[in-house]
Amino acid sequence: MPHPHLPTPEALAACQPLPLRLRPGEDLRRSVEAAVAQAGVSAAFVLSGIGSLRPACIRLAGAAEATVIDADLELLTLAGSVSADGAHLHLSVADAMGRVTGGHLAYGCTVRTTAELLLALLPGWQFGRAPDPATGFAELVLRRSSESA
């Protein structure tokens, strides 16, 4: 019996790639959320992201607030989910000495020279967030578009 949360081959075939190039001065998280909203879908994944940032605002594991790193940084990775409720994205960045920092992408990460992203839009799905008693956090809820809330 198929797992109830796994997409069908038809649903996977409906996945639409959306490559993006962000320009200097753009807020990385706001730009991703805006691109998904503009595409008219309520479910997407960021598959890949590279580029450069200054500053980076990263919420480290277990921290309540974001840490600001005001230096020239290379964006090594960016991945996560985007819903109508917002984005849950993780990133890793490297400084000029090659030291890597990673965590949750917060608002305020500004593109320094470029950001090159690949998103997967999922028009047959709706993503949302709801409290999960097992974790104590608002976690991803997956629904096919035809399902009721």
What pLDDT is attached to residue 148?
A: 46
The whole domain housing 39 covers 15-144
Beta bridge partners of 127: 142
CB atoms within 10 A of CB 92: 16
Percent of the chain at pLDDT > 90 equals 82
Q: 111 in a domain, yes or no?
A: yes
> Is the pLDDT assigned to residue 11 strictly greater than 70?
no
CATH number for the domain that contains residue 90: 3.30.1330.80
| CA 14 – CA 87 distance, rounded (Å) | 21
* Backbone dihedral angles phi then psi of residue 23, each to the nearest 5 degrees: -105, 165
| CA 121 – CA 6 distance, rounded (Å) | 16
Whole-number Cα distances in Å, 134 to 83, 87, 103, 138: 21, 21, 21, 10
Q: 62 in a domain, yes or no?
A: yes
Q: How confident is the model at residue 86 (pLDDT cuts 50, 70, 90)?
A: confident
Q: 3 in a domain, yes or no?
A: no
Total count of domains within the chain:
1
Mean pLDDT of 71-83: 98
Whole-number Cα distances in Å, 34 to 24, 72, 84, 94, 115: 16, 25, 10, 26, 15
Q: 9 in a domain, yes or no?
A: no
Residue 50 token pair: 């590279």
> Is the pLDDT assigned to residue 9 strictly greater than 90?
no
Terminal-to-terminal C-alpha distance of the chain: 24
> Is the pLDDT assigned to residue 139 strictly greater than 50?
yes
